[in-house]
Amino acid sequence: MSSELGTALITGASTGIGSIYADRLARRGYDLILIARQKDKLDALAERLTRETGRTVKVLPADLSKATELAKVETLLKKEASITLLVNNAGIASTAKLVDADVDRMSDIINVNTNALTRLTYAAVPGFVLRDRGTVINIASIVAVYPEILNGVYAASKAFVLAFTQSLQNELKDTAVKAQVVLPGATSTDMWELAGTPIAYLPAEIVMTANAMVDAALTGLDLGEAVTIPALPDAEDWQAFENARLALHPNLSKSEPASRYLPDVAA
């Protein structure tokens, strides 16, 4: 029996944040399609969630850095009308100093964190709009607004996710389709080890468990938040940041340079 909520497609679903989204969404009543590279981990997660929740859980092993495998997920999103929720969670991180980092790995970060996320969103959203139903959750990071603290390419890729989602939200404002962007801080997953800095090297007071992060993000979704920062105590702080950004708008594009850039004719 298919779910009344529809099907959630989750990328990077085999471990960490993605696997917890899978758990939580199955328990909310979604059927699932799980995307990741490691088929054995996907199969084990699918078996457990089917057993524990009774939901239908399918797996599609795919490496989103490879165009042919990414295309398979795009095709699925375009054709499968039961999909009502896309969680763009797959990503690559780095903690290496920008000038010391391997440029090929930086290209991989750009490819997965921006290109794959963009193409999957483009594959899903037109159908969501047509069916007047659907949600996109894009996982960014606090480095989207605080790029100095980690690798610059990784931070830039997450700034892309934030800007891309905010533009998408604006374009979808007159539809029933929703988009949320989540900006986690340091989260206890294997990402840190893969990125080059084991989680044990971080101060415990800044590290959130992945369970708590996902639960907070889903609460933010339930509250209708466009931008969710799980660690931020006061939502008005983000609104103040946004208000300051928006206040720049009237002066960002004019026919003449600002006076401070004009030649000093009296000199």
Number of residues written out for the chain? 267
261 is catalytic: no
| Pair 89, 17: CB distance under 8 Å | yes
Please state, in angstroms and rounded to a whole number, the distance separating the CA atoms of residues 58 and 153.
33
- CA torsion sign for 234, 237, 239, 240 is positive
Q: Of these residues, 122, 154, 201, 261, which one is catalytic?
A: 154
* Region of residue 178 (left: phi > 0; alpha: psi -120 to 50; beta: else): beta
Whole-number CA gyration radius for the chain:
20
Please state, in angstroms and rounded to a whole number, the distance separating the CA atoms of residues 106 and 104.
5
Residue 253: DSSP 8-state: S
| Pair 118, 162: CB distance under 8 Å | no
- Kindly report the three-state secondary structure assignment for every residue of 146-165: CHHHCCHHHHHHHHHHHHHH
SS3 78: helix
Please state, in angstroms and rounded to a whole number, the distance separating the CA atoms of residues 155 and 175.
30
For the annotated catalytic residues, the residue numbers are 154
